[in-house]
Amino acid sequence: MIYTDQFQTISKPGIEEFRDRGSRFMAYAHPVEDSEAFKKILQQLKKEHPKAVHHCFGYRIGVNGDNFRASDDGEPSGTAGKPILGQIDSRQLTNTAVIVVRYFGGTLLGVPGLINAYKTATALVLQTTPILLKQVEVNYSIQFDYTLVNEVMQILKQGNCSILSQDFQLFSIIRAGIPKNRLDEVLHRLNDLRNVELVKIL
């Protein structure tokens, strides 16, 4: 799943709960930009739910869709992480993680029951969390003389670019995300200005 110009993610965290035969499945959905951010969220949930028996998860990150993971965290193989990731993928989401925290209720659910519980908990939280359509962006560092700040900012604004960071001094630097479908146009306009240096950020 490669996103060329746009991709879908969730706009904010969400939480929903599903119960089956006494077991509680609490699904937490989070927008995430990288695996480090995900790890912090997982650690936090483990602190909040120390008595939970499983913290299963699935995530997909990046506009190439190639950074993904699924974990059963001790549940029978394929009963938790795979159904969670399957729900993320069925909605064509990326930069999205879902962690399902399970409290065991005393009754074994069996493989079909577990798959259904993790799938349903994930579906519930993704149904109630707003989806955001975002531009696929290419990040650039733009260096220029401070006198050009208004022209540079205007080009970036008209190109619907995201400002990642800015440092206005005598020689200024802006790090910006330029929408892929506007890239040629924005770079061409910036190159038309004098003494502007563009460096692609990998």
Q: Residue 11 above 70 pLDDT?
A: yes
* Non-local CB neighbours of 40 within 8 Å, separated by 6+ positions: none
CB atoms near residue 172 (< 10 Å) = 17
Ranges of CATH 3.30.70.240 domains, the chain: 136-200
CA–CA dist 140, 175 (Å, integer): 6
Is pLDDT above 80 for 10? yes
Q: Over the stretch 26-59, which tens digit does the pLDDT of each residue have?
A: 999 999 989 999 999 999 999 999 999 999 999 9
Query: In the chain, what percentage of residues exceed pLDDT 70?
Result: 99
- R_g of the chain computed on alpha carbons: 21
Give 65 or 82, the one with higher predicted confidence.
82
Round to whole Å and give the CA distance between 149 and 49. 49
Residue 66: pLDDT band with limits 50, 70, 90: confident
DSSP 160: T
Kindly report, as residue ranges, where domains of CATH 3.30.230.30 are found in the chain.
6-133
Query: What's the pLDDT at 155?
Result: 97
One-letter identity of residue 88: I
For residues 72-97, give the mean pLDDT: 97
Model pLDDT for residues 156-191, shown as the tens digit of each residue = 999 999 999 999 988 899 999 999 999 999 999 999
pLDDT at 65: 76
CA 54 to chain centre: 23
pLDDT band at 91 (very low <50, low <70, confident <90, very high): very high
- pLDDT at res. 84: 98
Cα angle, residue 136 at apex, residues 130 and 139 outer, rounded to 5°: 125
* Dihedral of alpha carbons 2, 4, 34, 50, sign: negative
- Rounded CA-CA distance 110/125 in Å is 23
Q: How far apart are CA 66 and CA 68, in angstroms?
A: 6
Task: Please tell us whether the domain made up of 136-200 is placed in CATH 3.30.70.240.
Answer: yes
- Is CATH 3.90.1560.10 the classification given to domain 6-133? no
